[in-house]
Structure 1
Amino acid sequence: MENNLQKMIEERNQLYMDVRAGKIPKRVPINLNMDGAAALEYAGYDLKTQQYDIKYLIDAMEKAAQDFESDNLGVTAVRFAHFYKILGAKHFVMGTDGFLQHPEIAAMEPKEYDALTAEPYKFLWDSVIPRLYTELDKPWPLSSAALAKGFHTFYSTMGQVGAAKNELCLKYGKSNLGGAFAQTDAPFDFIADLLRSFTGMMMDIRRVPDKVEAACEAILPLMIKAGAKGTPEKAGGCMIPLHMAPYMKEKDFERFYWPTFKKLVEELVKTNTNVSIFLEHDFTRFLDYIRELPAGCQLMAEFGDPKAFKEKLGDKFILTGFYPLAMLKTGTLDEIQDKAKEIIDILAPGGRYIFSLDKSILRVSDVEIDKYQALLRFVKEYAVY
């Protein structure tokens, strides 16, 4: 039994290694896309009360490993309710049903761009973080105690989750490729999402464009440091979810967004970090720009024409995504399979393709689980080279 599991792990690892190397694997690797909240709900747990104890998340990860025919473990767990509660977070708050929400807030005023640009780390630490976390805005020693508690909670939780993932991969024969993994942001997105808000940033590029450009350049080294997890001996991984670009005019994207994002990816690749980029919404307008990024990056597309992506990017990048999550709620089994065939027939030829949904399942109610399970089984049988 143990030998069979080890063989399964090696075979699944080889699928991903072949894709990364530009070789054609035996079959298309299959990624499960499920947020920790959806996994908890699927396992029968209540988000309002049971996501505070990490043991329930680990149980939910195991149930997903048992029940879904994927090559990866596939449950994403990067935001933890108890961590945000300890620090009194304003930018991640629990909704009435227990799901973590990301409200639009502005933790920086337009007049503070110069302070951010002059000393970004100091400004974030001294000014922004206390505005985002109420417990860190309290006088010493209360703020220091909250920081110590939050630091311990985060790394203790990540340690437990990391150990559980390793054990579950071994127990259920899932791919255990990896090493250190991180998430970072395009500098423009970081400023928009955490400092100025969507609305504020769109006004700033009109009112103080030079300051926005300078701030993106100033933030860039911090974004590189956050994402660089590779070493000369072992590759690391980094996810970059892109947000603001599809809502921008192309001339604004070219001036404010693209230069520092491109530098970010280039510098991460230099550190032996495998970069995965989530192209949120529709990036079709920007495919010629994306083409300029270093070869081998993984691009997960939410929307867009798979044929256009394959034609312009398929020889240089690993493509994934595209399969509409909504189909698993509204489609019949025949329609679900036909859509899978359509996408696989376009993207699989020549390799450099991983099957996945166009976005993660955030809530278990987003899909009909039996349809998703049937889809994964079908893809494993159909997408063979």
Structure 2
Amino acid sequence: MSEKSPEQLYQERVKRCLDVAALRVPDRVPVFGPYQLYPYNFAGVTLKDAMNDYALARKACHKFQDYFQPDLDLGPVLAYPAAAMEMLKVNWFKWPGHGLADNVMYQYVESENMTAQEYDEFIYDPSHFIMSKWLPRSFPPLKGLADWPAVRSFMWFGWLGGLAGLAAPEVQEALRNAAAAGEEQGRWFGSLGQYAEEMKAKGTPQLYAAWDWPPFDIIGDTLRGTRQILMDMRRRPDKLLEALEVATKIFIENGSGSEGAELPYCWIWMHKGTRNFMSDEQFKTFYWPFLRKGMLALIDKGIIPVVYCEADVESRLECFADVPKGKVIYHVSATDMAKAKAVLGGIAAIAGNVPNILLLSGTPDDVKDYCKKLIDTAGKDGGFIMDAEVMLDEAKPENLKAMIDITKEYGVYR
């Protein structure tokens, strides 16, 4: 048999990943390339260097993909542009060379960027709140945007004063700083686009078409902070519910970037929806209704939500089942896959969950045995994607190779 061309491989992989989401039995179980630091560690490159040298980051990811050959590839998107971040002095993030050692994964530094008294401002005009409050508080060189005029008042002759406000020296300085950082970010995005084209020429699709965050996390992660939003559920539930309606619209806009893509996967990073943060009753009141509403809107646009659950979500599975059949993928990490399959089988595809510790400290045979059990349990009749438990930083190369290779060998549907 002749070797398949890159175009054939590409279309085969896209079809496999569309089929698994739609609960059509694919030719075999798909396997993803689940990593954070791993491709750079594998290539002998520090994350700091990858963040500062876009060509080097691409080269490292090429080496990873060429050797391991998962069905989909994340690429260098998690090697954020250090130069732009330094220009903006991002104050809610630590990264290698900026508060962290050269090869340590990022650390999010949570802060209260919206007070409880500012809920009404956010609800009334979220765009103005983000422009005049969130951006100046997050990026010190953009502090002049605190004087940004409310664009909603520009209509009729309001533009006379509004446009004059844009000429204020503080606003102009902030805009110059934003433009300089934006130019650097443009170079980074250009590198990501170049990498995607290079991968397509090799026959590998990209893992994502857009990123998104559940409405509750949009508010809890970036605006209020964990402690504050958890208190808001008790102290000001009605105001929080009102704000979540606004955040749901933002969620839909964010995810709509996947619309029309060959593989319209929208990855939704679920943070505070696990039972570590809230009760089942709170989840059903504050979290799930808004996430579900947003996902249904994305599904109506032909987008495939991929909900990435990073902790135990066993008690959430019944809620997760309340979606249209064959339209959603749930990545489950610390949840029993047999239980996940029992509840979600025939409704949604599931991905996971080879333990990271097994990939780091086990043997290839250990990994193969675990993967076979996963395929036997969760892969029956399709609807299953092989993946690591959580995003991967460290692993023995032979173990990760075993996970991918055994899936291609044992995960064939006959």
Give TM-score, length-normalised by structure 1: 0.92
The equivalent residue for 1:334 is 365
| Distance in 2 between residues matched to 1:278 and 1:233, nearest whole Å | 20
Counterpart residue type for residue 60 of structure 2: A
Question: Does the C-alpha gap of structure 1 residues 56 and 136 become closer, same or farther in structure 2, counting only changes over 3 Å?
Answer: same
CA distance in 2, matches of 1:31, 1:355: 7
CA positional deviation for 1:75: 3.3
Which residue of 1 is the match for residue 376 of structure 2? 345
In structure 2, C-alpha distance between the alignment counterparts of 1:74 and 1:206, rounded to whole Å:
39
Q: State the one-letter code of the partner of 1:64.
A: F
Q: Shift of residue 76 of structure 1?
A: 5.5
Name the structure 1 match of 2:130: 124
Question: Shift in Å at residue 50 of structure 1?
Answer: 4.3
Deviations 1:191-233 (A, max 9, x none): 1111111111112212211111111112221121111135479
In structure 2, the CA distance between the partners of 1:27 and 1:64, relative to structure 1 (3 Å rule), is same
Alignment partner, residue 143 of structure 1: 174
Distance 2:403 2:223 in 1: 40
- Could you say which residue in structure 2 is the equivalent of 1:254? 284
Matches within 5 A, 1:51-90: 51-75=51-75, 77-78=77-78, 79-90=80-91
Tell me if the contact between 1:229 and 1:271 (Cα under 8 Å) persists in the aligned partners.
no
In the other structure, the counterpart of 1:314 is: 345
Please say if residues 265 and 294 of structure 1, whose CA atoms lie closer than 8 Å, have aligned partners that are also in contact: no
Query: 2-side partners of 1:286 and 1:21: how far apart?
Result: 21
Structure 2 unmatched runs, 5+: 145-169
1:11-43: CA deviation from partner (whole Å, max 9, x where unpaired): 3233223323422222111111112x4322321
Contact 1:229/1:235 (<8 A) preserved? no
Post-superposition shift, 1:374? Answer: 2.3
Alignment of 1:12-31 (within 5 A): 12-31=13-32
Letter aligned with residue 68 of structure 1: F
Aligned equivalents of 2:60, 2:260: Cα separation in 1: 35
Distance 2:69 2:264 in 1: 25
State the alpha-carbon separation in 1 of the partners of residues 282 and 288 from structure 2: 9
2:140 corresponds to 1:110: no
Give distance in 1, aligned partners of 2:364 and 2:262: 42
Partner of 1:243: 271
Aligned length: 378
After superposition, the Cα gap between the structure-2 partners of 1:47 and 1:345, relative to the gap in structure 1 and judged at 3 Å, is same
| Residue 292 (1) aligns with residue 322 (2) | yes
Q: Are 1:183 and 1:238, in contact at CA under 8 Å, matched by a contact in 2?
A: yes
Whole-angstrom CA distance in 1 between matches of 2:91 and 2:3: 47
Q: Aligned residue for 1:269?
A: 299
Residue 349 of structure 1: CA displacement?
1.1
Cα deviation, residue 182, structure 1: 1.3
1:235: how far off? 6.4
Larger radius of gyration: 2
How far does the alpha carbon of each residue in 1:111-131 deviate from its partner, in whole angstroms, 9 at most, with x for none? 111211121121111111110
1:96 corresponding residue in structure 2: 100
Equivalent residue letter for 2:90: A
Unpaired runs of at least 5, structure 1:
none
Query: Is the contact between residue 75 and residue 195 of structure 2 (CA under 8 Å) also seen in structure 1?
Result: no
* Contact residue 64 and residue 75 of structure 1 kept, 8 A: no
SS at match of 1:275: strand
- The answer as to whether partners of 1:84 and 1:93 remain within 8 angstroms in 2 is no
Residue 147 of structure 2 corresponds to which residue in structure 1?
none
Residue pair 1:228, 1:236 contacting (<8 A) in 2 also: no
Q: Measure, in 2, the Cα distance between the counterparts of 1:254 and 1:152.
A: 43
Output one character per residue of 1:303-340: Cα deviation in whole Å (capped at 9) or x when no partner: 11111111111211111112211111222333222211
What is the CA-CA distance between 1:294 and the residue it aligns to? 2.9
3-state DSSP of counterpart to 2:181:
helix
Tell me the distance in 2 between the aligned counterparts of 1:333 and 1:359.
19
CA 1:223/1:63 → structure 2, altered by over 3 Å: closer, same or farther? same
Distance 1:61 1:311 in 2: 36
Deviation at residue 65 of structure 1 after TM alignment: 1.3
Q: Separation in 2 of the partners of 1:155 and 1:223? A: 23
Contact 1:186–1:240 (CA<8 Å) still a contact in 2?
A: yes
Provide the C-alpha distance between the structure 1 equivalents of 2:403 and 2:227, rounded to a whole number of angstroms: 39
For the 8 Å contact 1:40–1:51, the answer to whether it is kept is no
- Contact 1:40–1:56 under 8 Å retained in 2: no
2:190 to 143, 155, 159: 159
Percent of pairs identical after alignment? 25
Take 1:372 and 1:235, find their aligned partners in 2: how far apart are those partners?
24
Q: Could you tell me how far 1:347 is from its partner in structure 2?
A: 1.1
TM-score (norm 2): 0.86
CA shift digits 1:85-109 (9 cap, x unpaired): 2211112222421332211211111
Counterparts of 2:50 and 2:15, CA distance in 1? 37
